[in-house]
Amino acid sequence: MITKQITKINWYENAEKIFIATDCIIFGFDEGILKLLVFERLVNPLKGELSLIGSFVKPNETAPQAAHRVLKEITGLDNIFMEELKTYTEVDRDSGARCISIGQYALIRIDEYDKELVKKHGALWYEVDKLPKLVLDHNKMVEDALNRLRRKSKFYPIGIELLPKNFTIPQLQNLYEVIHQKKLDSRNFRKKLLSLKLLIPLNKKDMSGSKKGAFLYKFDYKKYKKLEENGFNFSLFK
């Protein structure tokens, strides 16, 4: 027993600990434009430079917990859609110290977040295709997250997370067109979408987008979940 304990101590003593951070790639969809929430650093190091919102992972929390903690702090939102992207482990990615980062991308509903809080923390929305230089490897993280968003939204209804809970079909089409940088035929889009029977009609119109107004729907998450378990693919175009 004593031997085992000693060996165990040696086992860990042979290794070196490393700083571990998590960075959030936060997307929002505002007036037909895909945007990213970045952060003007209020403190050193790198004060004044732009970066993703991140944090060290603390000894008593998991990486997702750390990410949700900072997201809550800055947007006021719980229950944000967030998913691990990948780790960034280059030896010299952070000149200050050896530090690996777990990239996590988040999709937030632009009508829900706390605008005061965001402003207070020096966070700003940038259009994804007009991004400034960010610190360290953060631009690469954004690029990776965009690719993931594009690929994943082809087969999973994660785009819905970027729209208000009640949304119209033209809004969703517009979102898909922006994400995939491609015009879609509205008749085919609508037909395919409705054939999935995953939208619950609210029989109310949203009048903000046009004079005629467009019917509002909400997504049937429960039904989708059941379908997904049987290998169903949510795909709206090829």
Secondary element (H or E) of residue 85: strand 81-88
86 part of the interface to a copy of itself, by CB under 8 A: yes
Exactly one of 40, 48, 89, 191 binds a copy of itself (CB under 8 A); which one? 89
Based on its alpha-carbon atoms, the radius of gyration of the chain, rounded to whole angstroms, reads 21
97 part of the interface to a copy of itself, by CB under 8 A: yes
Instruction: Of 180, 35, 208, 174, give the one whose Cα is nearest residue 113.
Output: 35
Indicate which of a copy of itself, DNA, none lies near residue 214 (CB less than 5 to 8 Å, by partner kind).
Answer: DNA
Residue 46: CB minimum distance to a copy of itself, A:
9
Exactly one of 211, 222, 229, 231 binds DNA (CB under 7 A); which one? 211
Residue 237: CB minimum distance to a copy of itself, A:
11
Residue 48: CB minimum distance to a copy of itself, A:
11
Q: Which long-range contacts (CB under 8 A, 24 or more apart) does 205-210 make?
A: 206/166, 206/167, 206/168, 206/171, 209/168, 209/170, 209/171, 210/170
| Binding-residue pattern over the window 15 to 54 for DNA, x denoting contact by CB under 7 A | ----------------------------------------
d(CA 25, CA 23): 7
Q: Report how far apart, in Å, the C-alpha atoms of 176 and of each of 34, 65, 71, 216 are.
A: 10, 30, 25, 17
d(CA 138, CA 93): 10
d(CA 165, CA 235): 20
Indicate which of DNA, a copy of itself, none lies near residue 4 (CB less than 5 to 8 Å, by partner kind).
Answer: a copy of itself
Instruction: Of 25, 27, 34, give the one whose Cα is nearest residue 130.
Output: 34
227 part of the interface to DNA, by CB under 7 A: no
Residue 202: CB minimum distance to a copy of itself, A:
33
Binding site residues, a copy of itself, CB under 8 A: 3-4, 7-8, 11-12, 14-21, 43-45, 47, 56-64, 84, 86-87, 89-91, 96-98, 100, 102
Binding site for DNA (CB under 7 A): 168-170, 185-188, 190-192, 195, 205, 207, 209-215, 235, 237-238
